[in-house]
Structure 1
């Protein structure tokens, strides 16, 4: 089997946050999300789909795939996916072990694993060693509203939908307090702060939040790779620490674990180097006794890959559902809609579904 073509699709799909102040001053600044999909074709007719992290960097990632990765892959055997991943990281290391280059490799890697599983006539989770019958607990990952009333409205709505865990993206106490007041003590609350504070500021904030019994606080320190400060903070607070969405490759996670910086590790399959690298990170986490909580605020092949990876993990943790509603979805909306608080994993071959061609056509971004 040989790779005959690689095609990149850039999309921008509008969404709603469900509240009027849908674009806050400090969070994403968007009313449409970027997608960078990859389609890999083979001489046997098997096609694989992947996607890269692309929020506000879609063009750069697409160019990296087309100009830096595609020339290396045409003619290669896609079943040699782990060797391909190794060679791409080796050849492209000069261009960075973080960010755009690794995002691009991630997309290709996901598509190759889709091909491997389809070639084996198995769902990806079966190929990875799981029967695929685990109930995967979901959590609602709310937008940043910077408004206590909006936080309460969305928390109540998520609870009514059956979510048993809810994550905020807030940095002020008023919103955290509002969430706890509306949810009571029965619903665990997490807070993703997105790296806003120095270590001293983070210590002061987390000390003031201890009364809200948070399940975890996520990435409270800037820069996110300051694992020493994160470890010191973890030692000084009763609130568990989560991090990892900004880390790329297993080497960064090893540094994180060596520093004893986190209670929960959050690798993102569209950022870390794809399925190949995610598996390495999960093995490392098992060795260090750290629980993995996959970072997955995505709506393309990366989300499906996360479901299959979670199925292959003995203890899959909680899975993230970004709490926004799109004008159109690449897959049936039911895929992203947990039932009674749990996700279901597709049980057909490969990732389970190919993206909707009409949605790709309708929301394609014109590029020069």
Structure 2
């Protein structure tokens, strides 16, 4: 089996969009004390798909959400010529070939995003060729059960967050993750807003559950050192 062709396509949402509410989640731009639309660089209105076809007719599909037009260009220009003609079962060799050939400008960021899309498509091919889910090819099951947690709870009105948390409790979750909405640029008032929401959600989920708190790259070291003691039960 040999890889015969690679096709990349960018899909973009052209319908109506609703901007996120203010302070619904911190992000890396908050460290700049930017009071504009800090979430502008974190919206996913475009997506790139990578379809790899083999000479046996199997098509594997990979994807990338980050900078889809750029990741498409990287695959079309740099990665596709290195992949076409290869045996997808030589997946480790292919990955190393892509990674090492892009050392000068890759190794992280958008270079790795593009490599990941190709790699996902190759694993999709292997799963289809073997007639097995990919996790079986990666070693199979290691546990009888896997614990999961409810991961949403973006910052918003306290009553809304409590109602949302209650729906997860009713579904049987015992672990939860919520998002902070305020960071360094918001000063003492933002600290209080964060703490009030943590207390409100904790009131709903109880003391004997795991509550994870996500600041999503939006805190600097000084702010984190200030907040952590305040969050200790």
User: TM-score higher than 0.5 here?
Assistant: yes
Matched, 1:65 2:63: no
**Partner residue in 2 for 1:11:** 11
- What secondary structure sits across from 2:167 in the alignment? helix
Matched, 1:112 2:122: yes
Q: Determine which of 34, 39, 43 is the counterpart of 2:55.
A: 43
Quote the Cα distance in structure 2 between the aligned partners of 1:21 and 1:8. 28
Matched, 1:156 2:166: yes
| Contact 2:165 2:201 (8 Å CA) reproduced | yes
Evaluate the alpha carbon distance shift between residue 150 and residue 110 of structure 1 in structure 2; reply closer, same or farther with a 3 A threshold.
Answer: same
**Partner residue in 1 for 2:212:** 190
| Contact 1:126 1:132 (8 Å CA) reproduced | no
**Partner residue in 1 for 2:203:** 181
Quote the Cα distance in structure 1 between the aligned partners of 2:150 and 2:19. 19
Quote the Cα distance in structure 2 between the aligned partners of 1:74 and 1:61. 18
| Contact 1:23 1:31 (8 Å CA) reproduced | no
| Contact 1:3 1:75 (8 Å CA) reproduced | yes
Quote the Cα distance in structure 2 between the aligned partners of 1:98 and 1:133. 31
Query: How much does 1:64 deviate?
Result: 1.8
Quote the Cα distance in structure 2 between the aligned partners of 1:202 and 1:121. 48
Q: Which aligned pairs between 1:317-356 and structure 2 lie closer than 5 A? A: none
| Contact 1:2 1:42 (8 Å CA) reproduced | yes
**Partner residue in 1 for 2:150:** 140
Quote the Cα distance in structure 1 between the aligned partners of 2:9 and 2:146. 30
Query: How much does 1:106 deviate?
Result: 0.7
Looking at both structures, which has the greater relative contact order when contacts are Cα pairs under 8 Å and sequence separation is at least 6? 2
Higher helix share: 2
Structure (1 or 2) with the larger CA radius of gyration: 2
Quote the Cα distance in structure 2 between the aligned partners of 1:159 and 1:33. 31
Query: How much does 1:131 deviate?
Result: 4.6
Quote the Cα distance in structure 1 between the aligned partners of 2:208 and 2:13. 35
RMSD across aligned positions (CA): 2.7
Query: Structure 1, unaligned stretches of length 5 or more?
Result: 15-19, 212-368
Quote the Cα distance in structure 1 between the aligned partners of 2:199 and 2:90. 51
Query: How much does 1:188 deviate?
Result: 1.2
User: Moved runs in structure 1, 4+ residues, more than 6 A?
Assistant: none
- What secondary structure sits across from 1:137 in the alignment? coil
Quote the Cα distance in structure 1 between the aligned partners of 2:92 and 2:75. 18
Query: How much does 1:124 deviate?
Result: 1.6
- What secondary structure sits across from 2:147 in the alignment? strand
Quote the Cα distance in structure 1 between the aligned partners of 2:19 and 2:152. 13
Matched, 1:95 2:105: yes
Q: Determine which of 20, 23, 36 is the counterpart of 2:21.
A: 23
Evaluate the alpha carbon distance shift between residue 155 and residue 90 of structure 1 in structure 2; reply closer, same or farther with a 3 A threshold.
Answer: same
- What secondary structure sits across from 1:136 in the alignment? coil
* Number of equivalenced pairs: 205
Evaluate the alpha carbon distance shift between residue 51 and residue 132 of structure 1 in structure 2; reply closer, same or farther with a 3 A threshold.
Answer: farther
| 1:69-126 Cα shifts (integer Å, max 9, x gaps) | 1122111111111111011110001113221000110111111112123222322222
Quote the Cα distance in structure 2 between the aligned partners of 1:190 and 1:107. 29
Quote the Cα distance in structure 2 between the aligned partners of 1:188 and 1:5. 47
**Partner residue in 1 for 2:90:** 80
Quote the Cα distance in structure 2 between the aligned partners of 1:145 and 1:94. 40
| Contact 2:153 2:165 (8 Å CA) reproduced | no
